[in-house]
Structure formats: structure tokens, C-alpha cells
A = this chain, B = another copy of it.
């Protein structure tokens, strides 16, 4: 059997690193796309920060073409993202809306652009939403807006004539709080048993990429909720 191949968008982040490592333990070939190099990956596409989405699109496209050549990948997992707060009266309101857009929506759209060209038919595209984005988020307006946009993007991509390869699956995970070093530092007194462990989530993403227990075609948004150390994946109605 050929070695399966995955492109991880955001492979140097906290969740991204866990995802890359989990793919490597299952013997996948891994290409990481990030602003920073991910040593554990077999191949790195390192991007230059820019304020122009179209410039970033051109850079990603050209570098991924170079990295993958004519061969395709079996899965694309986009776990890039970030968090910033702020309501409409905040001095950082627009700055943080802009940052959230770049971290969540630029990356998700660029991952889908790569998928349209380089994902195998029957392949798997994973994007990262947030459970909070299903409703209003008055204290973190930019974050909720960007995640709601990702949710709607997944709805678009999963329909016919979206430009996605034949029989491919598109799913977004909607986590609450991930158990990352940054979150532990920011909220040291929280109950970490209510946060989703990175390896648990990474393991699930690798299974879905391999075609195991993949959510049915009608399921595009999966809420990821951890209670007392137990993580469940529940479709949004």
C-alpha cells in the first residue's frame, strides 16, 4: 500500500504539532504549511506574513505546487487559528477582527483552495470552527464572526459544484477549549478535565483522514465537548 499523504495547515501550532506527530506515528507522509517550520514534518511550506490575502494565496499556491508536484494528498487538515477578545467599544475591536479573520478564515479558504487542486477524490478536508460561533459572542466579536464564516464555508464546500474533488468529505470541528500550553497559562485555575486533550483530538483527525469512522456526508459541523475527561463529537442539527 502506498504511504498515505496529508497536508497540515498550521502544523507548527499547539494542535497542529500534536496532529503532525500523530500522523507520523501512523506512518503518514506529512507536509506542514505554516509561518514557521515544523521539524517533525516530512516537508515544509513556510509562508511570509503579509497583509494581502491574494498575495498569500499566490505564495501558498506556488509553494504547495512545488512541494507536491503532480501528486495529490489524501487529506488536508487545517488547524490554524487563534483567539482574541473585544466588543464593539474596545480599542482593539477592528484590530482583533482583522487578526481573527487572518488566522481562521484566510487559512481555511487557502486550505480549501489547495484541496480543490491537490486533494484526491474521496479525500478529506478538515477545518476548524468553534462551538461559540454558533451563537452571538459579544465579548469576542471578531472570533465569533470568523468562526461563523468558517462554518458557512464548510456548508458551501460540502455542496455540489463547490469545486471540491469528487466524493470528498468536508468537516469542521467545533471545539470549546483545547488543553494547550497557552490556555493553561492564561487560565491556570481552570479545571483542565473539561478541556479537550490535543492527542485525543489529533487521534480522531488521523482516523477520519484514513477513512475510519468518518462522519456521514450529511454531517459537516461536529461539536467537540469534553466533560470530566471524556470527549464527545456531536453533529450540529
Q: Are B113 and A138 in contact (CB under 8 A)?
A: no
Please report whether the interface of chain A is mostly helix, strand, loop or mixed according to DSSP.
Answer: helix
In the assembled complex, the Cα of A136 lies from the Cα of B220 at a distance in Å of: 11
Residues of chain A at interface, number, CB under 8 A: 50
A103 to chain B, nearest CB (A): 14
List the 7 closest A-B pairs by CB distance, nearest first. A89-B163, A136-B155, A148-B152, A88-B163, A87-B163, A138-B162, A57-B94
Find A151's partner among B112, B148, B163 (CB 8 Å cutoff): B148
A161 within 8 A of B: yes
A147 to chain B: closest residue by CB: B152
Q: Which residues of B contact A151 (CB under 8 A)?
A: 148
Find A141's partner among B57, B110, B139, B162 (CB 8 Å cutoff): B162
Q: Are B88 and A157 in contact (CB under 8 A)?
A: yes
A29 within 8 A of B: no
